[in-house]
Amino acid sequence: MSKFYDVIIAGGGVIGASCAYQLSKRKDLKVALIDAKRPGNATRASAGGLWAIGESVGLGCGVIFFRMMSANRKRETQGAAVAVDASTPHILPESFFDFALQSNALYPALHRELKDNHGMDFKFEKTGLKFVIYDDEDRLYAEHIVGCIPHLADQVRWLDQAALRETEPSVSHEARGALEFLCDHQVSPFRLADAYMEGARQNGVDIFVNTNVTGVLHHGTRVTGVQTTEEGVFHCKTLINAGGAWAADLSEWATGIRIPVKPVKGQILLTERMPKILNGCLTTSDCYVAQKDNGEILIGSTTEDKGFDVTTTYPEIAGLVQGAVRCLPELKDVNLKRTWAGLRPGSPDELPILGPMRGVEGYLNACGHFRTGILTSAITGVLLDKLVNDEPLPLDITPFLADRFETAPVKQELELEMA
Ligand SMILES: Cc1cc2nc3c(=O)[nH]c(=O)nc-3n(C[C@H](O)[C@H](O)[C@H](O)COP(=O)(O)OP(=O)(O)OC[C@H]3O[C@@H](n4cnc5c(N)ncnc54)[C@H](O)[C@@H]3O)c2cc1C
């Protein structure tokens, strides 16, 4: 049986869920979210860092690239889908800083809103992010970062060895100090996605799980709906592509053009609960470490070009463990609870792909969030809600439009919807 909606969101990771939540606050819109729950869903794999400055300057998983390039310490297998060259990791453009920082600033209010109105607590914690400095190379890199962000000087703090040990007594004596980003915090990524989803559901969004979108319907150049395997045809006025690492298929069906989103594998591991040994999140030249509200510690993450493979592999996991024990020696006695891998939706310039595409009506991208989709989900939901409702945007999305890529149509003519 056909179903009719104002907006259909294809993909129910953190990005689709955030769009659904923001749109659900409009009482006049009928919205459906359709998700297939594919293995490798990035949201369920994530660390939950809201590392707005850290990620914008190439820390997080990016620092692993740095070491690979500069000291050749990492094996080939940690290569990236995004081109690894002398500029990787690099400081992302000003437009990305704005995007990341504006999103970051939304979390305190969003946390209160979802907790008070919908009973969902995504465990927002003010932690800061410290880049741990072991040697001269780390210090040079940290100084380079600080030199690149003079406008954020009030959000950056140098810690010498004594100050670092005072705030993080469990950190190894090998650490000489740290560079801290004061506004970089963390959430539980699973709870964040669940909170958006539950808020949307309570506000009236229809959620279809285990449902695969297999095609897109058109009338002329307008997208008019989707075909699914499990629930048949859905009609809509606007389709939002929140397909994560699979977004290129959806864009091809909708517009005839494959947007350049590719899976970038990340392996990560979780320890059993420990007494609180960290006051904030740490990133080093080997890994990052984040203790969550329940005491478990996440250690991440690799950056690999392996297509849709989501296996976990000994050398990569062992490398992360060694890096974590180097930073926090007491981790050597802790049990590992679980390891897993997820697929970041990577784009060639590491920027998200948002908004409309030339020549197609009724279609919006909300994809390509690579390694910061948890952080930037908040602003993405706000932007997509405003795009659907044709309202002024809080930031210029020109740098994030798909049209920035020179991409030839995959097929010249879109199939017309059958009457
Ligand atoms: C190891 C790791 C650590 C990370 N750590 C962080 C972090 O600390 N902070 C941060 O901000 N980000 C982090 N990220 C990145 C972040 O997880 C992603 O950017 C974000 O989850 C992307 O969300 P998404 O909704 O676009 O994609 P996904 O979460 O992958 O969701 C896409 C969904 O779309 C569905 N789908 C696709 N095609 C179809 C279709 N045709 N029909 C129906 N459903 C479909 C899929 O099944 C999937 O459920 C990390 C990622 C990894 C892998």
Give the DSSP letter string of 124-151: -B---EEEEE-SHHHHHHHHHHHHH-GG
Q: What is the pTM of this model?
A: 0.94
Provide the 3-class DSSP secondary structure of residue 402: helix
- Domain boundaries of the chain, sorted by first residue: 3-43+190-261+349-404, 58-91+129-182+262-346
Average pLDDT, the chain: 91
Which tokens in the block code for residue 393?
């945007």
If you average pLDDT over residues 102-119, what whole number do you get? Answer: 98
Which tokens in the block code for residue 104?
């970051």
If you average pLDDT over residues 100-126, what whole number do you get? Answer: 98
For domain 58-91+129-182+262-346, say whether CATH 3.30.9.10 is its number: yes
Is the pLDDT at 378 greater than 80? The verdict is: yes
**Residue whose CA is at the smallest distance from ligand 1 atom 8:** 49
Is the pLDDT at 123 greater than 50? The verdict is: yes
List, for residues 217-242, the tens digit of each pLDDT value: 999 999 999 999 999 999 999 999 99
Is the pLDDT at 63 greater than 80? The verdict is: no
DSSP 8-state assignment for residue 139: H
What is the pLDDT at residue 72? 42
Ligand 1 atom at shortest distance from the alpha carbon of 268: 1
What is the pLDDT at residue 59? 84
For domain 3-43+190-261+349-404, say whether CATH 1.20.120.550 is its number: no
Distance (Å, rounded) from C-alpha 26 to C-alpha 35? 22
**Residue whose CA is at the smallest distance from ligand 1 atom 9:** 49
What is the pLDDT at residue 266? 95
* Element housing 183 (H / E): none
- Identify the band that residue 290 occupies on the pLDDT scale cut at 50, 70 and 90: very high
Distance (Å, rounded) from C-alpha 165 to C-alpha 169? 5
If you average pLDDT over residues 68-88, what whole number do you get? Answer: 40
List, for residues 326-363, the tens digit of each pLDDT value: 999 999 999 999 999 999 999 999 999 999 999 999 99
Residue 203 Cα to ligand 1 midpoint, Å, equals: 23
Which tokens in the block code for residue 178?
């740290």
Distance (Å, rounded) from C-alpha 112 to C-alpha 120? 9
Residue 374 Cα to ligand 1 midpoint, Å, equals: 8
Pocket test for ligand 1, best of 103, 369, 370, 375 (most atoms within 8 A of CB): 369
